Homo-oligomer: A and B are copies of this chain.
Amino acid sequence: MFEFWDKLTEEQKEQIKQSVHKETYEKGMLMHRCQENCKGLMTVLSGQLRAYILSDEGREVTLFRVRAGEVCVLSASCLMDTIAFDVMIEAMEETVVSVLPSVVLNQVMKKNPYVELYLYKAATEKFSDVMWTMQQILFQKIDKRVAGFLWDEMSHAGTQTLSLTHDEIAKYIGSAREVVTRVLKYLAENEVISLGRGKIHIEDKEKLKSFL
């Protein structure tokens, strides 16, 4: 279970066991919206989550994704008083999570520094993810970012045919749809990929790699 498990008392273990439960979210559902709800520590069992920020004008920038087997700590951000920013967390596909509710987590962490340490360590890991994303957005050329995104998706999905719209890609990499469309057309003209309705097929992995 959790890294801090061995540091818990029997009572704390029992308390956690009794409160942990599964929740299922449909694709596109928001499970965390700024400070409004603070579910607790979520472990993704299947599917994946996306954490993003939203501008006043509705522009989205994806910060990171949480995949099966990974823990989502920002859904417990209300318990961490040094976190002073708001993120949105949505299900990118049908996603099943195991939830350790904030109220129980809070009780346990007040008595046990190892639990609090676990939370802050996990948050700092996300800090690293966000720094990576920021450097991508600020410093990397857009063709490299699109190619890198397609490469990662292909590797994670284990298939060369990806179900993705241009708009979705733009949101994930923090760019505009028009820009993504232009890069995808360029990659298609160079026979790296072929484009279908809501689908992108990677024709030539080696060529794609050369763009990374």
Contacts and interface: CB of A to CB of B under 8 A. Distances in A.
Nearest to A61: B138
B56 A124 contact: no
B130 A131 contact: yes
Contacts of A47: none
A120 B84 CA distance: 15
A186 interface: no
Interface in A71-129: 80, 82-85, 113-114, 116-117, 120-128
Contact of A124 (B124, B132, B139): B124
B55 A124 contact: no
A142 interface: no
Nearest to A7: B113
B122 A82 contact: yes
Contact of A82 (B59, B82, B85, B125): B125
A176 interface: no
A158 to B, nearest CB: 25
Interface in A40-86: 53, 55-57, 59, 61, 80, 82-85
B128 A130 contact: no
A179 interface: no
Nearest to A84: B128
Contacts of A122: 82
B139 A138 contact: no
Nearest to A129: B84
Interface of A: 53, 55-57, 59, 61, 80, 82-85, 113-114, 116-117, 120-128, 130-132, 134-135, 137-139, 174
